[in-house]
């Protein structure tokens, strides 16, 4: 019997509830009559509930994906929307110098120069109404000039079709 093992119970230390003090003191106080009872502390109240007064739901409708309210933007160096990965996804970059969008093939599909206002679109540009001073089509051979009120079609050497007023013209 010398090889028998003796097992003893594991003692678990009591710990306080995080951030709170114990409500009941485990030490007993005795009375002269030999009756023991726990020492009770005063009652503790629960912390008050904090309720958000302004919710993002009042400005954004995540179900319909619509902006419902006004947002204010802070100054920032640049914003990138999306993460360009070849053949997977494109991105849009917005900076004080302009806006550039590229597709998943890496081709710039929209470019707007912040300094000059020049804009380049790869694809169809549609509009219900277009108000412009000068429209140049193709390789400068068709010009619609709203300021001078004339349309010019050029064959490469000469203006062949001229509609409108031209000073000292025919």
Q: Rounded mean pLDDT of 142-150? A: 87
Q: Which residue has the higher pLDDT, 73 or 133?
A: 133
What band does 32 get if pLDDT is binned at 50, 70 and 90?
low
The answer, yes or no, to whether residue 25 has pLDDT greater than 50, is no
143, 151 Cβ separation under 8 angstroms: yes
pLDDT, greater one: 8 or 18 = 8
Q: Would you kindly state where each structural domain of the chain is located, as residue ranges?
A: 74-121, 134-164
The pTM of the whole model exceeds 0.85: no
CB 58 within 8 A of CB 69: yes
Please compute the mean of the pLDDT values over residues 125-134 and round it to a whole number.
Answer: 87
């Amino acid at each position: 019997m010398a090889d028998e093992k003796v097992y003893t119970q594991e003692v678990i230390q009591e710990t306080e509830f995080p951030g709170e003090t114990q409500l009941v003191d485990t030490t007993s106080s005795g009375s002269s009559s030999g009756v023991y009872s726990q020492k009770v502390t005063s009652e503790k109240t629960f912390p008050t509930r904090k309720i958000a007064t302004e919710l993002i739901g009042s400005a954004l409708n995540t179900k319909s994906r619509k902006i419902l309210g006004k947002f204010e933007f802070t100054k920032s160096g640049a914003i990138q929307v999306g993460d360009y990965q070849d053949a997977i996804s494109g991105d849009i970059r917005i900076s004080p110098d302009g806006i550039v969008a590229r597709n998943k093939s890496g081709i710039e599909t929209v470019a707007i120069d912040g300094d000059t206002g020049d804009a380049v679109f790869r694809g169809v540009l549609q509009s219900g109404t277009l108000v412009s001073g000068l429209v140049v089509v193709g390789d400068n051979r068709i010009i619609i000039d709203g300021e001078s009120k004339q349309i010019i079609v050029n064959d490469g050497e000469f203006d062949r079709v001229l509609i409108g007023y031209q000073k000292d013209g025919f």
